[in-house]
Homo-oligomer: A and B are copies of this chain.
Amino acid sequence: MGEQISFKSNDNTKALLDLEELKARCGKCNLRELCLPVGLTQNDMERLDQVIRKRQRVEKGALLYRQYDSFTCLYAVRLGHFKTYQVTHDGAQHITGFQMAGEILGLDAINSGKHQCDAKALEDSEVCEIHFAELQKLFAEMPALLRQFQRLMSQEITRDQSIMLLLGNMTADQRFAAFLVNLSSRYAARGYSGTSIQLRMGREEIGDYLGLTIESISRVITRFKKAGLLEVANRELLILDLPRMRNLAAGAQLVA
């Protein structure tokens, strides 16, 4: 199968939105953008920027934090991709999520004051540190910001529950379809293509996320290719039939 794949995927580094536009909308950090719709004043925004001041580069493969590190900051992904994972007793890693630009890392640490997982950069990335104690101070004065933050935490709970459903009830095909549909909509929401996707993680990491082995992932991909759902070249994906992919995720059977 050495044939040349016919599509030219965008590499997801070029947003459909103009990059400068995006920067302007995001300010120093995505949390800021998240707060735009909730009616903060200009003054509020500036104070928020104080809290989100420090930007940090994290190179590919580096850990942003590790399990049991003490918690002082949340992190907003500005650029790049991360995975969060726990290492099980038998040494396997279970990935709890993949985070992309605009998503927040570290919410699970608030309770105990210790991070509950490792966070590793899947590629050269950049985050904003959000000093939690300082953010806390703002909550008292900016209720809209607090509301937004609570929504964020609630959203994380909802997200985790849908993964529980996936891991508890779905077949390998369904899991992978759901995974792709999820990625697709997240990229689409960021102005990237929802059908031409460059995976930032390897097959093994997908497996560790979906509760499957690397071989199973590989086989699912092959089945999807044969069914005409997908074109694949390494980590470049082209989803050919997104509606059918959604149906699969929803429990429809795969017909070759």
Contacts and interface: CB of A to CB of B under 8 A. Distances in A.
Interface stretch (A25-33, A36-44, A149-157, A180-188): A149-157
A95 to B, nearest CB: 9
B108 A154 contact: yes
Given A89-B250, A110-B150, A154-B109, A117 B161 contact: yes
Contact of A96 (B108, B111, B164, B211): B164
Nearest to A142: B140
How many copies of the polypeptide does the oligomer hold?
2
Contacts of A112: 154, 158
A169 B94 contact: yes
B89 A151 contact: no
Contacts of A250: 89
A151 to B, nearest CB: 5
Contact of A111 (B92, B140, B154, B210): B154
Contact of A154 (B96, B147, B153): B153
Given A90-B251, A140-B143, 13 more contacts: A88-B169, A94-B165, A94-B168, A96-B165, A107-B154, A111-B151, A111-B155, A112-B158, A146-B146, A167-B168, A168-B210, A168-B211, A169-B211
Interface of A: 86, 88-90, 92, 94, 96, 107-112, 116-117, 136, 139-140, 143, 146-147, 150-158, 160-161, 163-165, 167-169, 210-211, 250-251
26 contacts: A86-B161, A86-B165, A94-B164, A94-B168, A107-B154, A108-B157, A108-B161, A110-B150, A112-B158, A116-B158, A117-B161, A136-B143, A136-B146, A139-B139, A139-B140, A140-B146, A146-B146, A150-B153, A153-B153, A153-B154, A160-B161, A160-B164, A164-B167, A167-B167, A168-B211, A169-B211
